[in-house]
Amino acid sequence: MASPAPRSLSSSSSSSSSSFCPSISPPPRSPSRASLPFSVKCNTVEPLKLVNGKPSVPILDEQSLPKFLHSKRLESSVNRSNTRLKLFSGLANPALAKEVAWYMGLELGKVKIKRFADGEIYVQLEESVRGCDVFIIQPTSPPANENLMELLIMIDACRRASAKNITAVIPYFGYARADRKTQGRESIAAKLVANLITEAGANRVLACDLHSGQSMGYFDIPVDHVYCQPVILDYLASKGIASSDLVVVSPDVGGVARARAFAKKLSDAPLAIVDKRRHAHNVAEVMNLIGDVKGKVAVMLDDMIDTAGTITKGAELLHEEGAREVYACCTHAVFSPPAIERLSSGCFQEVIITNTLPVAEKNFFRQLTVLSTANLLGETIWRVHDDSSVSSIFQ
């Protein structure tokens, strides 16, 4: 099976009142580093560089695929010219959607999305999806309510256009933190959002690194949970840090299972836990450290960074306990103020995130590295479409 020829990621801006019709144009086979703003591969050992003041994102091509995917790709059962597979993108993260389409050798479907004067969202598909397997890529990122509503309306449009199957690809699932009642008279918004997506007409959900695994149970439709840890692991492996120097740190007790699985794949690195007590939402107070980090390179792992209060206070404690360097790793970079000030204050050697959420240029800082999840999402979409195993990607 021949792999798809590399394609360039053409950028296009779109105002809220104009139509959004993403397109991918064929470029030269080997784009030069000067022609791409982000150009550090995640599986090389070259030092981190900033190009035009922007953090690095790996080039996506057959030579720079993460090792964990290189040996797992389907070579026989995938028909990459299948016209029954359609990809559509909302306005939340079109850059990621274009990269996914590039990896899959497809073009994004044409869709018109605009806002009326009163803020209402209008969606019209500009190509037929009758009998097709449709994947809608739309994280419910800030502004969460607008992007969620846009996703629901796109699902409804596909359902009314007689799509055979509709999969909501949600790289970042908003409201996931409201997954249980911790106090009286609270809502469980994660369940409500799951109901809305199901009732809109989605047949399946594909989500990345949910805040808690039980959120999958809120859906009455199949959920494919994509773990982005292999992308971060592949990048960390390129840093050349001795395994004896590493320690994986969970910033809270709730993330211990995630950190333990991560540590196991980092040559079974030791684990440390930051014990904290939260007095209010987005307010954390570090109390104690369980484990030894003295003279070690500490890798703090979390599913998301919002205001960065938890992970920054944890990093300060690690330095107090003698950690040599501290790396922050997360999948979802929400970056609500004052996250940037905290993360760039000097506590971290490097802040490693993925592009499940778009990062505004104003939020770039020297220690930031952005890794692309497009190849991981693209491979998962192919496997869902071909009724192949998804879990085998992560084994």
Which residues define the annotated binding site for Mg(2+)? 209, 211, 220, 224
Amino acid occupying residue 215 = S
**H or E, element range at 329:** strand 325-333
Residue 165, CB-side half-sphere exposure with 13 Å CA sphere: 17
CA 289 → CA 275, 292, 293, 325, 367, distances in Å? Answer: 6, 8, 9, 16, 25
> Helix 256-265 vs helix 229-237: angle between axes, to the nearest 10 degrees?
40
Which residue shows structure tokens 């306990």? 321
Rounded Cα gap, residues 79 and 88, in angstroms? 19
Candidates 331, 292, 333, 285; CA nearest to 309 is: 285
The token pair that represents 202 in the structure block:
């989605």
Query: 3-class SS at 68?
Result: helix
Q: Which residues are annotated as a binding site?
A: 209, 211, 220, 224
Q: Which two tokens stand for residue 104?
A: 């899959």
The secondary structure of 83-152 as a DSSP string is TTEEEEE-SS-HHHHHHHHHHHT--PPPEEEEE-TTS-EEEEESS--TT-EEEEE----SSHHHHHHHHH
Q: Could you count the other beta carbons within 10 Å of the beta carbon of residue 64?
A: 16
**Rounded-to-integer distance, Cα 180 and Cα 340, Å:** 29
Query: Which residue in this structure is represented by tokens 């850059």?
Result: 95
Of 224, 187, 192, 222, nearest to 207 by C-alpha is 224
